[in-house]
Each structure stands twice: as structure tokens, then as C-alpha cells.
Amino acid sequence: MGKQQDKQQDKQLKQFKEKVIKAPTLFQALLPVIAMIVFLSLGYVLFELPPEPLIILSAIVAGIIAIMLGHSYNDIMGSISDKIAKTMPAILILITVGFMIGAWMVGGTIPMMIYYGLQIINPQFLIITAFLVTAIVSICTGTSWGSAGTIGVAFMGVAAGMDANMAAVAGAVVAGAYFGDKLSPLSDTTNIASLATGVNLYEHIGHLLYTTIPSFIVAGIVYVITGLNSSSAGEIPEKVGTILSTLDSVFSWNWLLILPVLIVLYGSLTKKPTVPVMLISSFVAMANGLIFQDFTLNNVVTATVSGFNLSMVNAAGFDLATIIPDIPRLLERGGMNSMMGTLLICFSAITFAGTISVTKSLDLIINKLMRLVHSTGSMILTTIVIGLSMIGITSNGQISILMPGEMLREAYIRRGLHPKNLSRTIEDSATIIEPILPWTAAGAYMAGTLGVATLDYLPWAVLCWTGIIFATIWGFTGFGIAKLTPEQQQEMLKEFDTEPKPAQ
């Protein structure tokens, strides 16, 4: 009898708790988002504070509002745990990416691409060459900053020696670097966009081609025409020759070094599981490091964890004390530890998203936004505006991808649009816009690294701003817009525990 009364009391208590949970007002729903914008604008942009604690502060604001509305601490933690569980596959991919970059470095795969890429420089086609080679390196490494800070710096030296158009070359380098950052399976932003929208990585990359390839072609045409009309024909600077000779002394070249890249390309084309493909590629690269590069097993394994380091080199005639500063910047990278910063931002953003989702605040905000959406085109345009606003205000590419992805995914599914349309559009409006805004970290980095002001190279970074043009056109014409079948829509909506609505 006593047990029955206890159960009845527990049931009544649960019902009471459910009754006192209140829906947020629009102000309460917006307050955590406003707090995040203020914290990041003041702390991250003005005072250069790290973004992670600022996002956590925003999550605290969201948590206070959730508790005021009647939700418990366990409710909040449960929501955060659910979101972490859903994003764990993408998190594993990010860690594997760091592992693979370290393996490709120690195995000689990335150095060989840099080595042969530098050798194809032609003074008459310097701008287009800078664009293409930087794009190739960026695709292979997955890092726009690393590509611009290494190959990009080398091309700027070439441009200076030839008295070429420095702004044009810098714009081509930035465009090429972000072409790879956008399409490479090794890129953190590409993986984050896939993570935030719940889209398979390779499916996301394939869908990006609809806007990226036209932008790539337009940029290429501009660079070729500019190069043909240029009279630059100077000599290649000595620095490039020094880089080539140093690479030659550190690594042994063999065409089998390209095999890890072919494995990843094959896996991408055939849509094989991402992590196994990357691991196989990494193990092949590690074997190359042992067999062809004569590194020790300890060095090879350390490179996959902490990144490649020139102190590992024991080649005859190589003197670490005499190398130019560009060499360490070019080679010392990779390793799983290199991804920890990105993962920390992801976990912080997931904590914020999980906390704010408890109150259904995002649903309220999205419902208000969706009143402005009357077509697929206006949906794409709204996404672009949100993406541009986020990157312009927060100055952080990862946050500008994670938040719109989290906020808009359900809205896309309800309209019968595949989430890969969302993942593509937030990349078009955030990832490649970041380096052409002077106040962002990427804009400041590119300007400082390449020695050209952001606003000077902005017109020449053609690929970075034409993406949103093509995204808008495709949205209103329907070209390259993936629709969900009723079965796919119903299956995806199970995640939100609601009945599916017909596609509009």
C-alpha cells in the first residue's frame, strides 16, 4: 500500500513539474543568443579573449533562463549529452584528420606536393598558378591558414621578385586556400558543417561543388586574363630555390608517396566510411615514413599525435640551425593534438546549443524567421543573411557554422529540403567570407601573413564572394537544390519527435 502511495505521489510530483514548465517569450528566447553575440563581440573581437569561455558564459545565461522556466539541471545535462552523442562520429573524424595530416607529413606526401607544386611556377601565369597550387595544397592539408602561411608566402615572394600585382596574387592565394578549406575532407570547417547539420561528410562535399565549381571557374578566368595582360616576367626569388633544396635534403621522393592521397580520393568518390578510409591512408603514409624517409617508428607515431617536427630529421647534410624560418612553418604541423582547439570550440558550442534547446527557444526564433520565408529561394537567402551576420558579428568561422546549422536544420527538413542544402549555404556565407572581412581573425591573419591589406586583396579573392551569388541564384531557380522524399523527410523528423508536415 505504501509503495503504491509513493508511486502516486511521484506521478503527481512529475505532473506538477510538467505543469510549471513555461514556454519562453521571444525576449527570453533571444537573450542567450544576444548574450553570445555581446560576449564574443566585446571579448573575442575587442579584447582578443579566447572564445571558448565566452561561449560557456552564454550557455550559463541560457541555463539560468531554462531553470527560471522550470527546467531542471538534469534536463539541461541530458540535452547536452544527447547532442554530444549525435556529433560523436564527426568528432572522431576531426581527431582522425589530425592523425592523418601528421602521417602525411612524416611520410612525405604533403612535402612532395609542395615540392612539385613550387616547380611549376611560370612568371606569365603567376596569379593562376598561385591560385591552383594553393588550392591543391589546401585540399591535401585541409588548412587554409597553413596553406597561405607556407605556399602562399612563397608565392608572395615570387610576386615581389617579379614586380607583379601583389594584391592580385594575395587574393588568388586566399581564394585557393579557402577552396581547399571548403572542399577538403581534412578541413575542420568542412567537418564542422557536416557535424552541425547531420549530413554525411562526403555527401556535403559533393553538394558544395554546385556553388564552388562555378566560383572556381570564374576566379580562374579572371586570373588568366589578368596574367595575360600583365608584363611581369621577373626571376623566381632565391627563397623558393632554398625551400626546394631543403625539402630535397629532408625527404626522398617516390611516386608511392602519392598513394595516401589516392586512397582518400577513392574513398570520397565511392562514399566509403570516412574514418576507416582515413586510417588506411594514414597507415600507408606511416609505412612510407619508415621505408622511404628513414624515420624511426617512434618519430612516425609521434608525428600522428603531436605533429611532424624537424628535430626528427637525421638526413645527411641537414642542419636544423641553418634553415630559413619558412621551412618550419611549411612542415611542422599535423597530429591529433592539433585538433584539440577545434574540438574544444565544438564542445563549447554544443553545450550552448544543448542548453538553449531545452527551452525550445530555437523553435520560437526559427518560427519567427520562417514567417519571412515563402520559397526555397527565400530560405537560402535567409540562411545567407544569418551566416553573414554571424561571421560579421562573432568573427569566428566555427561558431558561424555551428549555430545556423543547429538552428535551421529542422526548418529545412520541414520544408522538404535536404540538410545538405543548409550545410552548403552556411559554408558559402561563413567559411569563405571570413578571410575577406578585415576585423575577423582570418582576415587579420591573411593580411599580416601575405603583407597585403584585406580590403586590397578582397576584390581579387573572387571565389570567396561569388559563392553567395551562385547560392542565391540556385536557390531561386531550383538548380542544385536537393529535395527530400516523403520517406526521407519522415525518417529525419523522428529526431524531433514530432509528426512530419508536408513539403511546401
**Cα angle at 59 between 58 and 65, to 5 degrees?**
95
Residue 311: Cβ within 10 Å count: 9
Which runs of consecutive H residues, i.e. helices, occur in 108-187? 109-119, 126-141, 144-147, 153-162, 166-183
Q: Which of 358, 114, 387 is nearest to 251 (CA)?
A: 114
HEC assignment per residue over 311-354: HHCCCCCCCHHHCCCHHHHHHCCCCHHHHHHHHHHHHHHHHHHH
Cell of 289: 615514413
Backbone angles phi, psi at 483, to 5 degrees: -100, 155
Which runs of consecutive H residues, i.e. helices, occur in 270-311? 274-291, 297-306
Q: Is 417 helix (H, G, I), strand (E, B) or coil?
A: strand
Distance CA 148, CA 445 (A): 9
Reported residue count of the chain is 504
33's CB contacts (< 8 A; 6+ apart) are 356, 365
* Helix-helix angle 126-141:166-183, to 10 degrees: 30
| Residues in the chain where the model's pLDDT stays below 70 | 1-19, 45, 90, 141, 146, 150, 161-163, 231-237, 268, 271, 316-317, 393-396, 439, 441, 497-504
265's CB contacts (< 8 A; 6+ apart) are none
Q: Which of 444, 449, 434, 458 is nearest to 167 (CA)?
A: 458
Residue 246 vs residues 41, 102, 317, 424: alpha-carbon distances, Å: 43, 19, 10, 39
185 near 414, Cβ under 8 Å?
A: no
Q: Which of 224, 118, 135 is nearest to 179 (CA)?
A: 135
* Helix-helix angle 419-426:397-414, to 10 degrees: 150
What pLDDT is attached to residue 499? 46
Residue 389: Cβ within 10 Å count: 15
HEC assignment per residue over 425-439: HHHHHHHCCHHHCCC
Q: Which of 444, 501, 480, 474 is nearest to 384 (CA)?
A: 474
Tell me which H or E stretch contains 256: none
Residue 151 vs residues 239, 328, 442, 487: alpha-carbon distances, Å: 12, 12, 17, 47
